[in-house]
Amino acid sequence: MKVCIAEKPSVARDIAEILGARQRKDGYYEGNDYQVTWTFGHFCTLKEPHDYYDQWKYWRLEDLPMIPSGFGIKLIENAGVKKQFNIIQTLLNQCEEVINCGDAGQEGELIQRWVLLKAQCKAPVKRLWISSLTEEAIKEGFKKLKPAADYDNLYAAGSARAIGDWLLGMNATRLFTKKFAKEKTVLSIGRVQTPTLAMIVQRQKEINAFVMEEYWELKTIYRETEFTATIDRLTNEEKAVKGVDYLKQHLFEITSFEKKEGKEGNPRLFDLTGLQVEANKKFGYSAEDTLKYVQNLYEKKLVTYPRVDTTYLSEDLHSRIEGIMRSMVHYTTLTAPVLSKPIPKLKAVFDDKKITDHHAIIPTEIPPNGLSVPEEKRVYDLIARRFIAVFYPECKVSNTTVLGIVGQIGFKATGKQILELGWKEIYQHDQQKDENEEAEKVMPVFEVGEKGPHEPRVHKGKTSPPKPYTEATLLRAMETAGKQVEDESVRELLKDNGIGRPSTRANIIETLFKRKYIEKKKKNLFATQTGMDLIDTIPNELLKSAELTGVWESKLRQIEKGAYDAALFKQELIQMVIDLTQEIKYSHNKIISIAENKPATKKPFVEKQEEKTFKPKLSLDTMNCPKCNNFALKKGNMAYGCADFGNCGFKIPFELFGKKLTEKQLIDLISKKKTGKIKGLKMDAEAAEQEARITMNNNFQFEITQ
């Protein structure tokens, strides 16, 4: 019997139907030598601090940092989860093969692997990897099942991400809460959450510090075209009035007339972030809601896998585009021009080098008949129109620049005229216009040297503060690690260093709302006083820097590709947590008490209930080499040594000067460069025993000292 494990009951039902496992049992389907069961999202989670040590249930500075010698997982405390897990475990213990049918992404891989690990699965495992849930895609996927080992790096990256978030989140949250918080306020710190909040706080500070200034500009109308003076803005009205008086004394003269034809490139296909940005701009949908709507469309087989970060399609999909277009019966007017000739294999659309496990979000061959949820209809329409638009011709425009002069003062006017709509025809009747779309401005033809009367005037304006983030602009900032990038091709290059993943960014933003660190006014996001105080309290730039967090994210992506060691990433984070803890615990920085706007928490931390202190031992497995400080220590047969021993050369034997050292003595020797006094030490076999300390000198050699 083969056991298939899907991530949701609805997906399991579809798979069971296709496989012929149509007999419904308690918690699974059976038939045709298959049993198809399911999880419903995360069944397992990393163990909590108190699962390692009872004393870690209390929030105390003296217990930090909390670094388990090894990380374990446990079932989520939920009766339904426990019941379904027991069913899965029973099926796994009796089967000959397992087929992992979880969502084809890092989170889906982690969910299923943890279930298999918790169930102590011994059967061989294969992986179903598909980009849509259509019958054709599922059948094709089962013909091409992959060995589970092909996705070991994906699992390693997901595991490293979870452990990294645990290490920083658990330790930093307790550290800052106990050091800086007032009363029972919890200061939540996260690897992605905190730099995201820091970006919003920084923008808030820029807005708060902004001082509005008035300015005056000279403008004039010549041949029904408005020109603006090219001189610097004037800082007082008196100068502006004098300027107008001067302009009235001279005719307007054209000095340059330039008209250039250009093109506006087609938009790219949607990745998840792009879709969330567009839905927020056009409909005001939150990132979390957009993810929910597109996930529902995916499960209804109407669109391909949504949790993606690429805007390209694989080259082998080119042959399927015509079929998808022909199935889009609700868009026949728009698809007709594309289908009237062979569909081009555009490099901006099809590129195997720009995709990994999935391609951009596109419609499937199944039309959205009977789609009743208005929000899902709108999101589907965004995806469908974008899919059609990429295959339309480019939009051709004419850009006009006119320069003139009045006396000694230069003037300029610009205009843009659309010559051929091209892909913009797809959006001609779109009721929701892009807020950045410029109005078409047709200008008359001017001749260089022509002169004539004009109508000068003064325009009074005010400087504007920086714009607050919206969810759309915040998602883009997260994608590019805080860099302001408009060019889509440049943005594509920065994705590897973005903070968070497309599938988790929405949850990060929602967490900031739940913690009451940010709030929304209309579409705009603002930091609350609590959020600003929290960021001001954090002295360590690592926790706040979007760019540095982007570097960690890049390493996680490299782990996924097999180009970086997950154990090394974990060790780097452990060292960062150790350093951060020492810095904050013993700092003399001014304490900022944060009590207002108390964040809502489901489980407030447990206050200290007993006086006795407990500090778990440091583990040699979590310590860095004291010589190079770059690599962890590894246990050998006779000694602990640097993981990079070939280059570094450091080792510390289990036995020194005739005595086998305890773990505490070894740790003291590495961390303090000396042990406590030890009886029975001998310089050599013939020497007398003595009571002394073992020390490590500056050359990392070991000596006996008093």
Residue 599 in domain: no
Q: pLDDT value at position 430?
A: 61
Instruction: Examine the domain organization and report whether 255 and 291 are in the same domain.
Output: no
Q: What percent of the chain has pLDDT over 90?
A: 65
**For residue 160, how many C-alpha atoms fall within 13 Å in the half-sphere facing its CB?**
26
- Mean pLDDT lowest for which of 133-142, 500-509, 582-591? 582-591
Do 155 and 110 touch, CB atoms closer than 8 A?
A: yes
CATH number, position 66: 3.40.50.140
Q: What is the mean pLDDT of the chain?
A: 88
- Mean pLDDT lowest for which of 188-202, 389-403, 484-498, 651-665? 484-498
Picking from 175, 189, 74, 58, the residue whose alpha carbon sits closest to that of residue 615 is: 58
Instruction: Examine the domain organization and report whether 123 and 16 are in the same domain.
Output: yes
Residue 601 in domain: no
Active site residue 305: yes
Which of 365, 389, 413 marks a domain boundary?
A: 389
pLDDT tens, 489-542?
666 656 677 888 888 899 999 999 999 999 999 899 999 999 999 999 888 888
pLDDT tens, 88-127?
999 999 999 999 999 888 889 999 999 999 999 999 999 9
Q: pLDDT value at position 119?
A: 95
Which residue type, as a one-letter code, is found at position 235?
Answer: T
Assess whether pLDDT exceeds 60 at residue 599: no
List Cβ neighbours of 353 (8 Å cut-off, separation of 6 or more): none
Instruction: Examine the domain organization and report whether 8 and 93 are in the same domain.
Output: yes
Which of 423, 445, 462 marks a domain boundary?
A: 462
Give the pLDDT mean for 150-162. 94
Q: pLDDT value at position 494?
A: 64
Q: pLDDT value at position 600?
A: 35
pLDDT tens, 188-212?
999 899 999 999 999 999 999 999 9
Q: What percent of the chain has pLDDT over 70?
A: 90
CATH number, position 250: 2.70.20.10
Instruction: Examine the domain organization and report whether 8 and 100 are in the same domain.
Output: yes
Q: pLDDT value at position 484?
A: 63
Q: Cα separation of 208 and 228, whole Å?
A: 30
Residue 480 in domain: yes
- Locate 659 and state its tokens: 């005595």
pLDDT tens, 301-338?
999 999 998 999 999 899 999 999 999 999 999 999 99
Number of structural domains found in the chain:
5
Catalytic member of 155, 305, 380, 517: 305
- Mean pLDDT lowest for which of 249-263, 425-439, 600-614? 600-614
Q: Cα separation of 516 and 526, whole Å?
A: 11
> Which range of residues forms the domain containing residue 689?
620-705
Instruction: Examine the domain organization and report whether 29 and 81 are in the same domain.
Output: yes
Instruction: Examine the domain organization and report whether 139 and 7 are in the same domain.
Output: yes
Residue 634 in domain: yes
Q: pLDDT value at position 639?
A: 85
List Cβ neighbours of 682 (8 Å cut-off, separation of 6 or more): 657, 658, 688, 689, 690
Complete DSSP assignment for 98-161: EEEES-SSHHHHHHHHHHHHHTT--S-EEE---S--SHHHHHHHHHT-EEGGGGHHHHHHHHHH
CA 238, 244, 248 angle in degrees (round to 5)?
A: 150
Which H/E stretch holds residue 420?
strand 409-420
Report the 3 state secondary structure along 47-59. Answer: CCHHHHCHHHHEC
Which of 144, 170, 194 marks a domain boundary?
A: 144
Confidence of residue 609 (pLDDT cuts 50, 70, 90): very low
Instruction: Examine the domain organization and report whether 277 and 261 are in the same domain.
Output: no
Residue 300 is given by DSSP the state: T
Residue 609 in domain: no
Instruction: Examine the domain organization and report whether 403 and 256 are in the same domain.
Output: yes
Instruction: Examine the domain organization and report whether 420 and 383 are in the same domain.
Output: no
CATH number, position 522: 1.10.460.10
Q: pLDDT value at position 352?
A: 87
Instruction: Examine the domain organization and report whether 260 and 401 are in the same domain.
Output: yes
Instruction: Examine the domain organization and report whether 34 and 109 are in the same domain.
Output: yes
Assess whether pLDDT exceeds 60 at residue 287: yes
Burial of 51 (0-12, 13-18, 19+ CB in 10 A): middle
Residue 594 in domain: no
Instruction: Examine the domain organization and report whether 310 and 368 are in the same domain.
Output: yes
Residue 251 in domain: yes
Residue 610 in domain: no
Confidence of residue 672 (pLDDT cuts 50, 70, 90): confident
